[in-house]
């Protein structure tokens, strides 16, 4: 039983480290999620309101204009750009939000 627990802890540490290195984590939240149901959509909106400081109704508008992609919405909010520009910057930076924001801020 103890060996299984230790193995699980090590695998959790490895997967967490990989997600951080890939840029899928912002703060202490996993932002690389696809909202395929209502629960995940609500989680995305909570993350967006928390990270952006926007009220819920504005966050919903931003989220829907970002094609319900949290990563795009976060980049749009931080860099004040269109959906297409945010999506392009994310694609060019392998969907790392911080890198996409840096790239957009350097070009604007």
Cα–Cα dist 72/40, whole Å: 16
Residue 13 is assigned to a structural domain of this protein = no
Q: What's the pLDDT at 10?
A: 94
Q: CATH number of the domain at 84, please.
A: 1.10.8.1080
Q: Where are the beta strands (DSSP E) in the chain?
A: 25-26, 29-30
Residue 1 is assigned to a structural domain of this protein = no
Residue 69 is assigned to a structural domain of this protein = yes
Q: What's the pLDDT at 26?
A: 80
Cα–Cα dist 90/83, whole Å: 11
Average pLDDT over every residue of 1-27: 88
Residue 54 is assigned to a structural domain of this protein = yes
R_g over Cα of the chain:
16
Per-residue confidence band for 14, with pLDDT thresholds at 50, 70 and 90: very high
Q: What's the pLDDT at 3?
A: 81
Q: What's the pLDDT at 87?
A: 95
Residue 3 is assigned to a structural domain of this protein = no
Residue 44 is assigned to a structural domain of this protein = yes
Average pLDDT over every residue of 49-68: 95
Residue 67 is assigned to a structural domain of this protein = yes
In the chain, how many domains are there?
1
Domain that holds residue 59: 33-107
Q: Could you say which DSSP state residue 60 is in?
A: H
Let me know: does 81 contact 87? Beta carbons within 8 Å. Answer: no
Cα–Cα dist 49/57, whole Å: 9
Whether the per-residue pLDDT at 107 is higher than 90: the answer is no
Residue 53 is assigned to a structural domain of this protein = yes
């Amino acid at each position: 039983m103890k060996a299984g627990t230790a193995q699980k802890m090590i695998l959790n540490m490895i997967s967490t480290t990989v997600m951080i290195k890939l840029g899928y984590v912002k703060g202490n939240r996993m932002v690389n999620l696809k909202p395929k149901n209502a629960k995940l959509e609500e989680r995305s909106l909570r993350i967006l309101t928390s990270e952006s400081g926007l009220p819920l109704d504005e966050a919903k508008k931003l989220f829907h204009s970002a094609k319900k992609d949290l990563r795009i919405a976060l980049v749009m909010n931080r860099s004040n750009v269109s959906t297409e520009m945010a999506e392009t910057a994310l694609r060019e930076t392998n969907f790392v939000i911080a890198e996409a924001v840096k790239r957009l801020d350097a070009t604007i």
